[in-house]
Chains A and B, each alone.
Chain A
């Protein structure tokens, strides 16, 4: 239904061109959930905004690639045609519910705007639909809340309102850019639950972006791991979590606290910082931070290659080599820990 082909989204800055998204391809089918995971600054948000063409232009530009939605390349569409897709076919919810609603308009009006932009309905009908939507997303006393302003809602409730706005026209794809990052954990669970229910009810495809692997594991069927504007590993959720084949994904997983870990393992962080996207490193972008990097990694920029029908990895290490390297490292660490005691 949606196919992103070799998409590049670059940003012009005074210091040079930032390659925020640098050749990304993926597809999403109806009713499917795709998770995009990566650190801050890996380009996930720019990628999500590219699909909706919501990156400010300039400074953002698209030197290459296609975003095919139902046979049309969204990058080539005129603004007028694009607007017919935004909100109606593809809708988006954003990271910060506190600032994503206009503070000076009533919730009801903002919700009705989403409906009336795409449907010529009498106001009373739109209002009725808006109340339905608020009920759908679990806002108590929706008729009364239509007249409330955003500041009268909590963060979780605002995110529900934003989801209602996104659902206003029954979109085929819902893009959720870090939808729970700004919320506390219990509310997070509720919002994710809500999104799942909506998907079941309406068959909406969801692209969920998060730096939180827990959120991704809970929601997604397919996962894209992004690093410095590229996909470094993609596959089914099992491939990513149980058959991890890329050192970066592995490092990300190791940096998670585990409730079932048998020893008092320290949390492991990834050394260093994400690379400068104006002057990316030579070879593999991850090599300066990769614990398994060899001389070859500084020269060869690995392509995303197929390991199994759905599992793609961008690393020069084969599955066997990676397994052995991991084992060696874990042994070294264990000895280090023992020495420490």
Chain B
């Protein structure tokens, strides 16, 4: 198990290398010049050239890439062109709000999706099931930005019980932190609830008439125990993959939500940096997101061994 974990951790390196090349190419091939943006429209060509030289943008692209790559290995993601702060520092300041948002929306998702799926499987022969299917389809089809704006309108403006923007750190006030994250958390969760509840329902229905449930019922075990213990524990295995992918996907989802709710997270940082052509920050953020993505996938794979004794990584 330990060897497997180490091997998987080492496998992250080539993935990140490939990601770094792609990110670098996309960023540098996008039209727009940071020097021009910093100095403004009326700047002279000489001044722009001088700034480009200062920022190292006049070197060949390949040289620029290797400069960047070299510094990554020393743990240095470079300096922001815009604010001149180290990129690692900027990201670490912004990762807190994004992480909080992910945790809140994931908790909401699991708290709603798991009981819903179990309840629907419990009532599988009633009209609730088709109702649930349409509901989950609706949930996954709603565009996030639309739901966000709707919730802001209803719970921020018409009935102002939630703040519509901003972020309070958890270290300042737990209640305020939660209060600010509820609405964006709901928006992010709405899409995922439909997906995960549906996935869990499907895998539970698949195992609800498996032979081992007959054995359990034959023992005289209650139907609710059969569902929650025997069926659920087996259905959780395929669902874990979806949950993992969902958590990783939340990182991308936060970009829109952070912008709408003006949460100073990584997503908003990314958008701002793109507008400013702040190459080092863009590259740094995307690399960190890719790293988290790969890490979550690794955690899911390790969880598998925990949930399913038939899987042993040796």
- Chain A contact residues, CB within 8 Å of chain B: 52, 54, 56, 58, 79, 83-88, 91-92, 94-96, 99-105, 110, 113-114, 117-118, 149, 151, 162, 165-166, 168
Contacts and interface: CB of A to CB of B under 8 A. Distances in A.
B309 interface: yes
Given A102-B230, A104-B233, A149 B309 contact: yes
B218 A99 contact: no
A275 B233 CA distance: 40
A92 B219 CA distance: 8
Q: Which 7 A-B pairs have the closest CB atoms?
A: A87-B220, A87-B219, A86-B220, A99-B211, A102-B212, A149-B309, A100-B211
Contact of A96 (B211, B217, B237, B308): B211
Interface of B: 125, 209-212, 214-223, 230, 233-234, 237, 307-310
A152 to B, nearest CB: 9
B220 A54 contact: no
Contacts of A52: 218
B223 A103 contact: no
B310 A91 contact: no
A113 B221 CA distance: 8
B300 to A, nearest CB: 17
A103 to B, nearest CB: 6
A86 B309 contact: no
A79 B209 contact: no
Contacts of B218: 52, 54, 86-87, 91-92, 94, 166
Contacts of B230: 102, 105
Given A86-B220, A117-B219, A117-B221, A100 B214 contact: yes
Given A56-B209, A94-B211, A113-B216, A104 B234 contact: yes
A86 B217 contact: yes
Contacts of A79: 223
B219 A151 contact: no
A103 B221 contact: no
Contact of B217 (A54, A151, A162): A54
A104 B219 contact: no
B120 to A, nearest CB: 17
Contacts of B209: 56
Most chain A beta-carbon contacts within 10 A, residue among B214, B220, B308, B310: B220
B309 A168 contact: no
Given A58-B125, A104-B307, A104-B308, A165 B214 contact: no
Given A58-B125, A103-B234, A104-B234, A85 B220 contact: yes
Contacts of A113: 216, 219, 221
A189 to B, nearest CB: 23
Contacts of B223: 79
A151 B310 CA distance: 7
Contacts of B215: 94, 100-102, 110, 162, 165
B220 A151 contact: no
A113 B237 CA distance: 22
Nearest to B308: A104
A92 B220 CA distance: 11
Nearest to A57: B125
B219 to A, nearest CB: 4
A114 B212 CA distance: 13
A81 to B, nearest CB: 11
A87 B234 CA distance: 23
Nearest to A59: B125
Contacts of B210: 99
A151 B217 CA distance: 21
A110 B219 CA distance: 10
B219 A165 contact: yes
Contacts of B219: 86-87, 91, 113-114, 117, 165, 168
Contacts of A101: 212, 215
A117 B230 CA distance: 14
A82 to B, nearest CB: 8
Nearest to B234: A104
Contacts of A102: 212, 215-216, 230, 233-234
24 contacts: A52-B218, A54-B214, A56-B209, A79-B223, A83-B220, A83-B221, A91-B218, A94-B211, A99-B210, A100-B215, A101-B212, A102-B216, A102-B230, A102-B234, A103-B309, A103-B310, A104-B308, A110-B215, A114-B219, A117-B221, A149-B309, A149-B310, A151-B310, A166-B218
A118 B310 contact: no
A85 B220 CA distance: 7
A113 B209 CA distance: 19
A104 B216 CA distance: 13
Nearest to A56: B209
Nearest to B309: A149
Given A94-B215, A99-B212, A103-B309, 6 more contacts: A87-B221, A94-B211, A100-B214, A100-B215, A105-B230, A117-B219
A56 B211 CA distance: 12
Contacts of B125: 58
A79 B219 CA distance: 13
B233 to A, nearest CB: 5
Given A117-B219, A117-B220, A165-B219, A103 B308 contact: yes
B125 to A, nearest CB: 6
B152 to A, nearest CB: 43
Most chain A beta-carbon contacts within 10 A, residue among B125, B209, B212, B308: B212
Contacts of B214: 54, 92, 94, 100
A292 to B, nearest CB: 39
Nearest to A152: B309
A118 B216 contact: no
